[in-house]
Amino acid sequence: DTEVTQTPKHLVMGMTNKKSLKCEQHMGHRAMYWYKQKAKKPPELMFVYSYEKLSINESVPSRFSPECPNSSLLNLHLHALQPEDSALYLCASSQDPGQGSAEAFFGQGTRLTVV
């Protein structure tokens, strides 16, 4: 199983809503990532979890709150988002944090629209 599964595939939320994005992998990977991708732009790193601990936060606004309940799951909790937060949110995982040679496997993404 070389899949990273993201749910939901599409999400529309109001600016006062609270929602969560979910990501799951069963490859035994110990690093998990959240990326944000705007249209016609490359993915931008948001957060990195290594061995279930937050290791990198790329100065992301607090309205985005990551959580790693266990080594297979990664959540992104959303609250009070702005329309400019509308984007494709990509989850990825890699085998061994800190081993730069481990390639990242990406999920299909969640298309988020904030209205």
Partner 1 sequence: AQSVTQPDIHITVSEGASLELRCNYSYGATPYLFWYVQSPGQGLQLLLKYFSGDTLVQGIKGFEAEFKRSQSSFNLRKPSVHWSDAAEYFCAVQGGSEKLVFGKGTKLTVNP
Residues that bind partner 1 (CB under 8 A): 4, 6, 31, 33, 40-43, 45, 48, 50, 55-56, 88, 90, 92, 94, 97-98, 100-101, 103-109, 111
Task: Write out the two tokens for 2.
Answer: 């070389």
Nearer to partner 1, 69 or 100 (CB): 100
**Residue 5: which of 21, 29, 23 has the closest Cα?**
23
Task: Write out the two tokens for 87.
Answer: 């984007």
Q: Least Å distance between CB 63 and partner 1?
A: 22
Residues pairing with 78 in the sheet: 19, 64
Q: Least Å distance between CB 80 and partner 1?
A: 26
Task: Write out the two tokens for 30.
Answer: 């110990």
DSSP symbols for 23-61 = EEE-S--SEEEEEEE-TTS--EEEEEEETTEEEEE-S--
Nearer to partner 1, 15 or 99 (CB): 99
Confirm if 20 and 81 have CB atoms less than 8 A apart.
Answer: no
Nearer to partner 1, 1 or 103 (CB): 103
Task: Write out the two tokens for 27.
Answer: 């490859």
Q: Least Å distance between CB 16 and partner 1?
A: 27
Nearer to partner 1, 4 or 114 (CB): 4
Q: Least Å distance between CB 7 and partner 1?
A: 13
